[in-house]
Structures are given as structure tokens and as C-alpha cells.
Structure 1
Amino acid sequence: MTDVSIRSAEEQDGDGLWAILQPVFAAGETYAIDPDIDRAGALAYWTGGKKKVFVAERGGGDLLGTYYLVRNQGGGGAHVCNCGFVTAASAQGMGIARLMLEHAFGAAKEGGFAAMQFNFVISANTRAINLWTRYGFDTVGRLPDAFFHPHEGYVDALVMYRKL
């Protein structure tokens, strides 16, 4: 995907971010977010606080994915970051999540982080788990039945960790 670039999200990306986030949040399969969340709430969740938000963009300006990077904890845990990733439905299977993850590693290192942790990876999200595992993440915790999946019922949530 030579025509895809990753850049910091800008305020004018709101419509594009909403178009990516809304179907994922509404599906209720991969994020512990109210499926009925409105645009303002979704954008506040995704871009709020001290999150650094990035978008994957095709040359013509089409947003293909987004991720955020944020400190996972303060104080003695401030050296570990957390990220959230969403790929647009139209871009599934194109390697966008992989590109964003590779970008996130660089952004995290630039931000002074020594490790990356995913706090709540839904066990039914096998595509994400397979990608994270291929990139060196270990499952360091399992929360039994911590997520109610709309099709599979109660499933585990994983904590995944990787030093940078």
C-alpha cells in the first residue's frame, strides 16, 4: 500500500473518524463501548484526554483507519503506553492495522515509552490477536467472561503486552 500514509488526526477529520468508529462501536464486538454512542460521545472517547490520535489515509484523502496512543498509567507505570485501533470496514484485509501498529511502535518510542499494553482485547477478535501475537505481544492476563459479545455471549478479555 504505497499510497497510504499515516498522520496526526486533525479537527476536520471528525466526519471521517465517525464513519470509521460508528459501525465498529455499533456492532459491539470489539470495544466495551455503548453500541448506541452518538457522534460527539464517540469522538470524545477516541480523541479525548491526552490521547494522540492518528489516521491512515489513502492519497485521495480517504481515511482507512485510526489509532490512538496514550499513557496507560501515571507515576511508576508512565513508561507503558496503550493504544486502540480501528480499521474502516472498506479497508479490512488490506494491511492497514499492520501499518498503524508499525507506526505506533515508532510513535511510542518517540514518546519515550518502553512498552505497549492492550488492556481489553476481546478473545473473539482473533484477527487482532493474531496480528498482535505476530508482532511480539504476549497474553499476560485473561479476564474470564469479562465481555458480552452480541453473537458469542460471554467471552474473555485479554491483556496483551510487549516491550518496545
Structure 2
Amino acid sequence: MNIVPICEKDFHQFWPEFEAIIQAQETYAYEPHMTYLEAYTLWCEVPQVCFVAKEGETILGSYFLKANGMGPSSHICNCGYMVSSNARGKGVARALCEHSQEMGRSLGYTAMQFNAVVSTNTVAVTLWQKLGFAIVGTIPNAYKHGKLGYVNTYVMHKVL
């Protein structure tokens, strides 16, 4: 697996997975019917950097990294990760998170914060905890899950 900066061709290939993830309304607080252009802008252009994990020409997953806040809070970064359905359970999310932490350090960030990890996404919560992230807050009923209704979200944090 190679983790490389994303290009528009990569995102175009990843778009069906991205769209399926947001339409499921189980992990991301994104408008489930956003357009390709809105998604590309949000995922690839707004963040400071964006990467894809590839095996040959197959996109396994992607992540973005950006400052979590401005001014006095700009030393903490924020990331989002998505893994293709056919690549889940194969270490892609771990590799992307480890890569993002290295990238965050290299860009001068001192910590990483996830603002809204859906509590029912136990695979992600468990992985982030194994990678050293702590749940530092719980927001009750902050996410309207596509199948379960209102569920909690976690704020997770790690010093880099």
C-alpha cells in the first residue's frame, strides 16, 4: 500500500465509496446528497493536505488534514478518514491515521483532535484508542444515525 497526495483522478475513482459512506449516515456529519463538486471541494481543496492509500491503481481509502481552529488554536490539527468497503479490516485506517500523525508533526501541529466520532462506530473508536487517542468529551445525541436515530458523538484528542 502506498499513501500519496490525492489528485482529482483519485477522488473521481473514490467518489462512489465517498458517496455511499455519506448516504449511509452512520459515520459522517456531511449532507448525504452533496454533489461530487461539493464533496471534492470539502475533502480535497479546503483541507491543508489530502492523501489516498493505493494498491496499484485501486483506491483503498483517503484522509484529509487541516487546522482544527484558527489563531490561538491553530496548533491542533483535525483529520477525517474514509476506507473503501472492500478494504475494511485490512489495516488501511490504521495506516492512514499513522501517516496523518506523522504528517501533522511534520507540519508543526502539536496535537490532533477528532471533533465528532460517532459513538456507534465502535471499530473506529477502538482503533483511535489503540493509537493513543482519548475520549475527552461526549456530546449527547449529536448525530442522527441513519438506522439508530440520535446517538452520541465523542471528541477525541492526542498529543503529537
1:131 alignment partner, one of 116, 127, 133: 127
1:38 alignment partner, one of 20, 35, 39: 35
Letter in 1 for 2:15: W
* 1:25 and 1:35 in contact (8 A); partners too: yes
Structure 2 residue 44 is matched with structure 1 residue 51: no
Q: C-alpha distance in 2, partners of 1:44/1:50?
A: 9
Q: Which moved more, 1:121-130 or 1:10-19?
A: 10-19
2:24 alignment partner, one of 6, 11, 27: 27
Q: How many residues align?
A: 160
Q: C-alpha distance in 2, partners of 1:139/1:77?
A: 19
Shift of the alpha carbon at 1:21? 0.7
Q: C-alpha distance in 2, partners of 1:18/1:51?
A: 20
Q: C-alpha distance in 1, partners of 2:125/2:140?
A: 16
Structure 2 residue 148 is matched with structure 1 residue 156: no
Structure 2 residue 54 is matched with structure 1 residue 61: no
In structure 1, the residue matched to 2:85 is 89
Letter in 2 for 1:147: Y
Q: Which moved more, 1:87-96 or 1:35-44?
A: 35-44
Map Cα deviations across residues 88-141 of structure 1 (whole Å, 9 max, x no partner). Answer: 001011110000011111100110000000001000111100000001111111
* 1:17 and 1:43 in contact (8 A); partners too: no
Runs (5+) with no aligned partner, structure 2:
none
Q: Please, what TM-score do these two structures have when normalized by structure 2?
A: 0.96
Q: C-alpha distance in 2, partners of 1:55/1:79?
A: 24
* 2:81 and 2:93 in contact (8 A); partners too: yes
Structure 2 residue 5 is matched with structure 1 residue 13: no
Runs (5+) with no aligned partner, structure 1:
none
Q: Please, what TM-score do these two structures have when normalized by structure 1?
A: 0.94
Letter in 2 for 1:92: R
Local SS of the residue matching 2:34? coil
Q: C-alpha distance in 2, partners of 1:72/1:6?
A: 22
Local SS of the residue matching 1:131? helix
Letter in 1 for 2:81: F
Shift of the alpha carbon at 1:53? 0.4
* 1:145 and 1:156 in contact (8 A); partners too: yes
